């Protein structure tokens, strides 16, 4: 079974369970925190993927990190995944849970990158236009400052992107200038 399929199945099971128990919102908040811990700690990810480190050691780490700090159902779920020998996929499972939650709640994660921090009114206008044109429900916005953009912005959601950055326009212009086919045509 592929990692994607496994993660999807485990995440779907967890969503169904916590939704039936009325704990979906709390578990979603906690799973985002757990996912952030995995994303920010390479050593932790490697430890869970390592077949050399014994299950008891991994359970001890999970106990110290999460017991009493996250929803009890999520804590039990994580320990069950470890006991079943699927701990190498915990990062993928948490990521899949977040994707499935967003789909269930009609939330679209949107990332906007710009050279400088954009004014709130400008961001609101961009998001309102995007929601109207793409018929999106709720938007979960992530803003990023990237000096390489030079100016303008790059908007990403799902598998779509709007790149109205100065760096892209300069790159396009450079390509046109370097392509001398128009010179040969009119010489």
Decide: 108 and 136 in contact? Cβ < 8 Å. Answer: yes
Strand partners, 113: 144, 154
Residue 77 lies in a domain: yes
- pLDDT for the residue 158: 87
**Are 113 and 98 contained in the same domain?**
no
Q: How many domains does the chain have?
A: 2
Mean pLDDT, residues 32-61: 92
Output the pLDDT for position 7.
Answer: 93
Category of 150 on φ-ψ map: left (φ > 0), alpha (ψ -120 to 50) or beta? left
- How much is the average pLDDT of 58-79? 94
Query: Does 187 reside within a domain?
Result: no
What percentage of the chain reaches a pLDDT higher than 70?
96
Q: 164 and 81 share a domain?
A: no
72 shares a domain with 18? yes
Total count of residues recorded for the chain: 187
Between CA 180 and CA 20 the distance in angstroms is 64
When pLDDT is cut at 50, 70 and 90, the band that residue 18 belongs to is very high
Nearest C-alpha neighbor of 132 from the set 124, 121, 140? 124
pLDDT tens digit sequence for 71-100: 999 999 999 999 999 999 999 999 999 999
Q: Show the domain range for 90.
A: 3-103
CA dist 44 and 67 (Å) reads 16
How far apart CA 155 and CA 133 sit, in angstroms, is 14
Mean pLDDT of the chain: 91
Across residues 125-130, what is the average pLDDT? 91
């Amino acid at each position: 079974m592929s990692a994607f399929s496994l993660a999807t199945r485990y995440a779907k099971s967890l969503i169904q369970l916590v939704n039936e128990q009325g704990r979906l919102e709390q578990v979603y908040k906690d799973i985002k925190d757990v996912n952030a811990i995995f994303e920010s700690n390479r050593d932790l990810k490697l430890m869970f993927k390592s077949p050399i480190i014994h299950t008891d050691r991994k359970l001890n780490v999970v106990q110290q990190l999460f017991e009493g700090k996250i929803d009890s159902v999520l804590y039990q779920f994580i320990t069950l995944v470890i006991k079943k020998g699927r701990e190498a996929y915990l990062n993928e499972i948490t990521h899949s849970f977040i994707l499935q939650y967003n789909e269930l709640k009609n939330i679209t994660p949107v990332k906007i990158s710009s050279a400088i921090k954009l004014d709130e009114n400008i961001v609101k206008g961009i998001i309102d236009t995007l929601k109207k044109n793409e018929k999106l429900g709720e938007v979960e916005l992530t803003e990023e400052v990237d000096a390489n953009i030079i100016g303008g912005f790059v908007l990403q959601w799902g598998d779509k992107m709007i790149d109205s950055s100065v760096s892209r326009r300069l790159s396009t212009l450079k390509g046109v200038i370097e392509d001398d086919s128009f010179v040969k045509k009119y010489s």
